[in-house]
Amino acid sequence: MIEVLVVDDDTRVARVNAAYVEKVPGFRVAGAAHSAGDALRALESLPRLDLVLLDHYLPDRTGLEVVQEMRRRGHQADVIMVTAARDVATVRAAMRQGALQYLVKPFTFAGLRAKLEAYAELRRTLDSGGEAEQAEVDRIFGALSTTSEPGLPKGHSPTTAELVRQCLMRADGPLSAQEIADRTGVSRQTAQRYLKLLERTGRARLTLKYGDAGRPEHRYLWATRT
């Protein structure tokens, strides 16, 4: 699990962001803070912390000052800025100080989920170790380039896409189109169409189940499961 500290001066926003994080498989909220001081104390007290979702406008110090103090104290947790600060100077400063992502408020759950899933993919890539050829280096640097959910082709419903996606993510193992249809209430043909879309966009993996006779059954597994 990726342990996350949520930092926002607005307690309501912090709760919403924490709820969003908990909905993404592989992530867990380790704590929440509402000021720079609280955030730095949490960094000292939490036994493990991988990622900080950090607001810039805090009552005692800025988010960028928190990043500077984190590094000065030797804390290596990654940082994603989650803030209403839109000025280019702040964005540039965040990049220079090592923020991996910058998400501008207000944002949707889908927007944050895309950032978190890209971050999880980056961790998997880096944790594989070894030496990297140019193609692998390009993949590492491109792992965080996701800015939003890919646009749906004409004729596809965002609601149905999310329904199929959530069903697949929560499954204990691969599912067939018929099993997805039974669990979501859509037709088998509709489930198959959205599953193929998830496969084409790299969100799902296709597996084959061979029976005693006939064609193998197509089954799908959420590609970013840990």
pLDDT computed for residue 132 by the predictor: 57
pLDDT computed for residue 147 by the predictor: 41
pLDDT tens readout for residues 9-60: 999 999 999 999 999 999 999 999 999 999 999 999 998 999 999 999 999 9
pTM to 2 decimal places: 0.61
Cβ neighbour number for residue 48 with a 10 Å cutoff: 9
| Spatial separation of the C-alpha atoms in residues 86 and 106, rounded to whole Å | 11
Q: In what order do the strands lie in the sheet with 101-104?
A: 27-33, 2-7, 51-54, 78-83, 101-104
| Spatial separation of the C-alpha atoms in residues 148 and 110, rounded to whole Å | 7
Alpha helices in 74-133 (DSSP H): 88-96, 109-127
pLDDT tens readout for residues 83-122: 888 777 888 888 888 888 888 887 888 888 888 988 887 8
Cβ neighbour number for residue 102 with a 10 Å cutoff: 18
* More confidently predicted of 156 and 119: 119
Residue type, 198: L
* Confidence band of 218 (pLDDT split at 50, 70, 90): very high
Residues in contact with 44: Cβ distance below 8 Å, sequence separation at least 6, in sequence order: 73
pLDDT computed for residue 143 by the predictor: 53
* More confidently predicted of 58 and 211: 58
pLDDT tens readout for residues 167-209: 888 888 899 999 999 988 889 999 999 999 888 878 888 998 8
Contact 21, 53 (CB under 8 A): yes
pLDDT computed for residue 130 by the predictor: 62
